[in-house]
Amino acid sequence: MQSSSGEMKLGSIVCQYCGELIDTVDTNRVKILYGVCGLSTCSVNNPKEMEQPLPPQAEQGKRVWHFQEGHAGMKTLLGGKGANLAEMTNAGLPVPPGFTITTDACRAYYSAGGKLPEGLFDEIRSALVKVEQTKKQKFGDSLNPLLVSVRSGSVNSMPGMMDTILNLGLNDNTVKGLASHTGNPQFAYDCYRRLIQMFGNVVFDIEGIHFETLLHRKKNELAIDEDKDVPVEAWIEIIEKFKEVIEWRANVPFPQDVYEQLHLAVEAVFRSWNNQRANVYRKAYNIPDSQGTAVNIQSMVFGNMGDDCGTGVLFTRNPSTGEKALYGEYLINAQGEDVVAGIRTPLPIAKLNQEMPEIYEQLVQTAAKLEAHYKDMQDIEFTVEKGKLFILQTRNGKRTAQAAVKLAVHFVHERILTIEEAMLRIDVEHLNQLLHRAIDEDEKLQVLAVGLPASPGAATGQVVFDADKAEEWSRSGKRVVLVSSETSPEDIHGVIAAEGVLTSRGGMTSHAAVVARGMGKPCVCGCEEVRIDTGEGQFIAGDVKVREGDWITLDGSTGRVIAGTVTLKEPEMSDELGQLLKWADDIRALKIRTNADSPEDAAKARSFGAEGIGLCRTEHMFMSASRLPVVQAMILADNLKDRKAALDQLLPMQQSDFEGIFAAMEGLPVTIRLLDPPLHEFLPNMEELLLRQERMKKDADTIDERSALDQLIRKVRNLQEMNPMLGWRGCRLGILIPEIYQMQVIAIFRAVLALQKKGVQVVPEIMIPLVGHVNELKAMRELVDRTAEDVLGTLKEQVPYQVGTMIEVPRAALTAGQIAQYADFFSFGTNDLTQMTFGYSRDDAEGKFLTHYVEHHILSQNPFQVLDTEGVGLLIEWAVESGRSKKPGLKTGICGEHGGEKDSIFFCHQTGLDYVSCSPFRIPLARIAAAQAQLIHSR
């Protein structure tokens, strides 16, 4: 308990990789103030860089930094892009010169109500002078003008979510200079029209479509397919039209003053921090709104000057599989945006080896250098200008969970990382997608088309063609697959809502693909066989028409688009995951158990590494069709004799259940919870009974049948409760009808004996649910011990069983010291404990107000997903401490759903619990989270 350790000092835990503030903590309890934020956007970095002190100028509020002045550890101030441009510049890589305006300046921009803070623009102008000197060019010069890009760059990478403007510094005058200086007017005017379009889009918020239609019309008129073939006269014409679009839409002319361009562009990039898609993305990844974006101003290099030029994106390894091979795409004679925007489908990077072998070789070397430098797989942007390579960006590449695991293990083998570093790299939530199901290949599939396998896994859903609809349908509980021709960052909310994404154009590095991979959503890209007709609300593949609302399945691992729904099969664990988990087991202090109610689940959990069962619910066993009538007879019995008769029938069934589960968990502890739910859950539904009664009246059935039904209705009505969650359930049942628990305990011990006879070792733990007062446990413990005595007799010594309780009623936690006297173990049932501590019934809360609470920051998280450490956690800490003070060897664990959630696992580790118990599929994840907890908060 914090109160017992005196004054609570607040410190903060920051992510050791990206500097993100994770939490404020009691420094009395937590010594190490570095953590892992676990965000998928986390720019997991060399931890050493974090230890690098910030240069002293940073403290003095320096707002503009030349690339030479920064380093990779300055992400919080310079944004990820700026910090890495600085790092690469200082590492001697070919980075076009430029500088970064800090995120502090962005925050100042917002607090000044959307104006550049005093003096900032002067600082920008003087920084620009230095770039002019280096490049031997002048901004706004009519002979040899300097052009720059104005690029957004947030602390956590948010690919495509904010804006960038290229070719800034062109106007009616400088474009002529560029044309004559380069001797390439077609190129110069291409740049100019790009600038006007991007400027209109970013600064004046004019939708791209207004420009694109004009361009399309002109190309049709000239019968030209590709932008690069548009002749200079046509560009000049288009530029005039583009300028008219600006005047018309923005009511001001396109600024001819280059400094005005720069001023407006910087402001617009700051503004883009708050555009809709950036906000949606931040919410999805828990990135704080207060962070702000940096702005990078960088001299331009040109990939669109001819066929000895080009631009591309490159991953140093395959981000989908983790395989060690360059992975990427490029376009000849194109400018940056063209590749990622998914306008033209680019060529695979391997082809560059034929087209530009020298450049390819340089890329291979740069990739290796950057990977070793950053100790991680890199996502690199490059441009080739007249046969010379430039690097424009590097960042830790987003990857699938499968790749993340493979990379972590390979980096250890290649001695790039230590095991501990590799372990901390793993984003535990991300692993979840590894354990998703895949398509069962034995089934006959109707493959409609095959596209690029952009993000693995299988997704089934109903087709929708726009992001808003995807969101709307998914809100109403439908599963949807988003189908669109191109991918635009504006569709982010649709991608979040969809099970998977299919696009007919765009490559593996298009925004949709990158975002989908990060989110673990299956994605098929560039599937050109699919012809989309949004007007008709359908797509056509071959001779099959698929309409909005039809079901399809995507296989993001192979790129297949399949008609209808498909059976999915269980996931398999890769060798690398096995290795990583072994390392995790060597590190972690928490034991990991599973919640399993059947031998099958128990076996599966064991294969995932479960070290026992933390919660075996017995009520599911009562629900099967063959048993329910017996259970009902038991509940409805009028007298003890009838009840016992029904229980006698149930006994052998329960015994065989337990034998199965014990056998599957041979040698490991199995916690069996005695019957918990209110009895009416096993009885027929009242409304149905009343309907039946109604019908019988009309049918003039026999009097006997009618009166039997009347009686049943009376009994069901008797058992109905105003508030079943707080009603007659758990040990309250066991105390009033001890025969039920007695039968269960007999079944448990008979099962133990039967297995022992076969030489199977069993470790039973009997758990009494819903105890709130020590006397409840006392009574139930006596019942268990007495029954054990009866069944085991002289064999008692050979069966070392334990009796414990679930701590799920706040009063039990508060009086844990008393309760511990009768308990060998506490298992925190955090679902109920959360319900009762908050006074929320989960079903009502999640359906009615909890989402609102989280969206409006009344609660930071849904406490049913992430343990509320401040309230519920306080009860747990208290119960552990006071329980152990009365009984030092008291075993403690948690068996709510929180047992499989990372932050909650960290909490359990720090509170000193012995184990967490979670569903079978989350066990691998829990093993790694427990190891991370130990690495960060060693105990």
Please give the positions annotated as active site. Answer: 511, 895
- Give min distance, CB of 835 to Mg ion, in A: 8
Q: Which two tokens stand for residue 294?
A: 């940096």
Work out whether 378 is an interface residue with Mg ion (CB under 5 A): no
Contact by Cβ (8 Å): 787, 697: no
- Give min distance, CB of 312 to Mg ion, in A: 12
Work out whether 214 is an interface residue with ligand ADP (CB under 6 A): no
829 binds, among ligand ADP, Mg ion, none (CB under 5 to 8 A by kind): Mg ion
Buried b (16+ CB within 10 A) or exposed e, 648-660: ebbbebbbbbbbb
CA angle, corner 667, sides to 830 and 575, nearest 5?
80
Work out whether 829 is an interface residue with Mg ion (CB under 5 A): yes
832 binds, among ligand ADP, Mg ion, none (CB under 5 to 8 A by kind): Mg ion
Which of 277, 593 has the CB closer to ligand ADP? 277
**Dihedral of alpha carbons 551, 556, 559, 560, sign:** negative
Work out whether 810 is an interface residue with Mg ion (CB under 5 A): no
- Give min distance, CB of 533 to Mg ion, in A: 32
From 123, 108, 141, 115, select the one nearest 57 (Cα to Cα).
Answer: 123
- Give min distance, CB of 176 to ligand ADP, in A: 21
Work out whether 336 is an interface residue with ligand ADP (CB under 6 A): yes
- Given 366, 393, 485, 655, the residue binding ligand ADP (CB under 6 A): 393
Point out the residue whose Cβ comes nearest to Mg ion. 832
Work out whether 178 is an interface residue with ligand ADP (CB under 6 A): no
149 binds, among Mg ion, ligand ADP, none (CB under 5 to 8 A by kind): ligand ADP
Question: Strand order of the sheet with strand 64-66?
Answer: 64-66, 98-101, 293-299, 148-154, 164-168
- Give min distance, CB of 397 to ligand ADP, in A: 13
Work out whether 149 is an interface residue with ligand ADP (CB under 6 A): yes
Which of 96, 924 has the CB closer to ligand ADP? 96
From residue 388 to residue 427, the character string flagging contacts with Mg ion as x (rule: CB under 5 A) and all else as - is -----x----------------------------------
Work out whether 312 is an interface residue with ligand ADP (CB under 6 A): no
Which residue intervals of 850-922 are DSSP H helices?
850-855, 872-886, 902-911
Which of 105, 294 has the CB closer to ligand ADP? 294
Q: Which two tokens stand for residue 712?
A: 């049943």
- Given 156, 174, 383, 488, the residue binding ligand ADP (CB under 6 A): 383
- Residue 143 is which amino acid? L
Q: Which two tokens stand for residue 510?
A: 């298009």
From 59, 107, 68, select the one nearest 86 (Cα to Cα).
Answer: 68
Which of 646, 894 has the CB closer to Mg ion? 894
- Give min distance, CB of 295 to ligand ADP, in A: 10
Which of 89, 298 has the CB closer to ligand ADP? 298
Contact by Cβ (8 Å): 18, 42: yes
From 36, 6, 42, 285, select the one nearest 906 (Cα to Cα).
Answer: 36
Contact by Cβ (8 Å): 214, 242: yes
Which of 16, 298 has the CB closer to ligand ADP? 298
Coil, helix or strand for 21? strand
- Give min distance, CB of 133 to ligand ADP, in A: 17
Euclidean distance between CA atoms 319 and 509, whole angstroms: 10
- Cα distances (Å, whole numbers) of residue 410 to 324, 367, 379, 630: 9, 16, 18, 56
Work out whether 379 is an interface residue with ligand ADP (CB under 6 A): no
Coil, helix or strand for 480? strand
- Given 104, 379, 381, 611, the residue binding ligand ADP (CB under 6 A): 381
DSSP 8-state class, residue 3: G
Interacting positions 93-112 with ligand ADP (CB under 6 A): 96
- Give min distance, CB of 829 to Mg ion, in A: 4
Contact by Cβ (8 Å): 221, 227: no
From residue 765 to residue 804, the character string flagging contacts with Mg ion as x (rule: CB under 5 A) and all else as - is ----------------------------------------
Which of 308, 337 has the CB closer to ligand ADP? 337
Work out whether 591 is an interface residue with ligand ADP (CB under 6 A): no
Cβ contacts of 101 within 8 Å, gap of 6 or more: 63, 64, 120, 124, 266, 294, 295, 296, 297
808 binds, among Mg ion, ligand ADP, none (CB under 5 to 8 A by kind): Mg ion
- Given 87, 338, 421, 832, the residue binding Mg ion (CB under 5 A): 832
Euclidean distance between CA atoms 843 and 723, whole angstroms: 13
Which of 487, 910 has the CB closer to Mg ion? 487
From 63, 61, 58, select the one nearest 74 (Cα to Cα).
Answer: 58
Point out the residue whose Cβ comes nearest to ligand ADP. 336
Interacting positions 611-640 with ligand ADP (CB under 6 A): none
**C-alpha 524 chain-centroid distance:** 19
Q: Which two tokens stand for residue 654?
A: 């329960």
Task: Return the number of other C-beta atoms located less than 10 Å from residue 693's C-beta.
Answer: 14
- Cα distances (Å, whole numbers) of residue 432 to 8, 77, 403: 36, 32, 13
Which of 189, 826 has the CB closer to Mg ion? 826
- Given 83, 120, 166, 930, the residue binding ligand ADP (CB under 6 A): 166
Contacting range for ligand ADP; rule: CB under 6 A; set: 8-16, 160-168, 678-686, 777-785 = 160-168
Can you count the helices (H) and strands (E) in the chain?
37, 36
- Given 16, 76, 156, 164, the residue binding ligand ADP (CB under 6 A): 164
Work out whether 767 is an interface residue with ligand ADP (CB under 6 A): no
Work out whether 267 is an interface residue with Mg ion (CB under 5 A): no
Which residue intervals of 232-314 are DSSP H helices?
232-250, 258-272, 276-284
Task: Return the number of other C-beta atoms located less than 10 Å from residue 710's C-beta.
Answer: 13
Euclidean distance between CA atoms 664 and 604, whole angstroms: 9
Number of residues that bind ligand ADP (CB under 6 A): 16
Work out whether 154 is an interface residue with ligand ADP (CB under 6 A): no
Cβ contacts of 103 within 8 Å, gap of 6 or more: 76, 77, 78, 79, 154, 155, 291, 292, 293, 294
Which of 157, 402 has the CB closer to ligand ADP? 157
Q: Which two tokens stand for residue 176?
A: 């002529």
160 binds, among Mg ion, ligand ADP, none (CB under 5 to 8 A by kind): ligand ADP
- Give min distance, CB of 180 to ligand ADP, in A: 21
**Dihedral of alpha carbons 205, 208, 214, 218, sign:** positive
Work out whether 163 is an interface residue with Mg ion (CB under 5 A): no
Work out whether 160 is an interface residue with ligand ADP (CB under 6 A): yes
Euclidean distance between CA atoms 465 and 689, whole angstroms: 45
Work out whether 396 is an interface residue with ligand ADP (CB under 6 A): no
Which of 302, 583 has the CB closer to ligand ADP? 302
Work out whether 835 is an interface residue with Mg ion (CB under 5 A): no
**C-alpha 829 chain-centroid distance:** 25
Which of 514, 876 has the CB closer to ligand ADP? 514
Work out whether 904 is an interface residue with Mg ion (CB under 5 A): no
Query: What is the residue whose two structure tokens read 């593996």?
Result: 508
Interacting positions 266-305 with ligand ADP (CB under 6 A): 298, 300-301
**Dihedral of alpha carbons 876, 882, 884, 890, sign:** negative
- Give min distance, CB of 335 to ligand ADP, in A: 6
659 binds, among ligand ADP, Mg ion, none (CB under 5 to 8 A by kind): none
Euclidean distance between CA atoms 210 and 202, whole angstroms: 13
Task: Please report, as ranges, the residues that interact with Mg ion according to CB under 5 A.
Answer: 393, 808, 829, 832
Give the interface with ligand ADP as residue ranges (CB under 6 A): 96, 149, 151, 160, 164, 166, 298, 300-301, 336-337, 340, 381, 383, 392-393
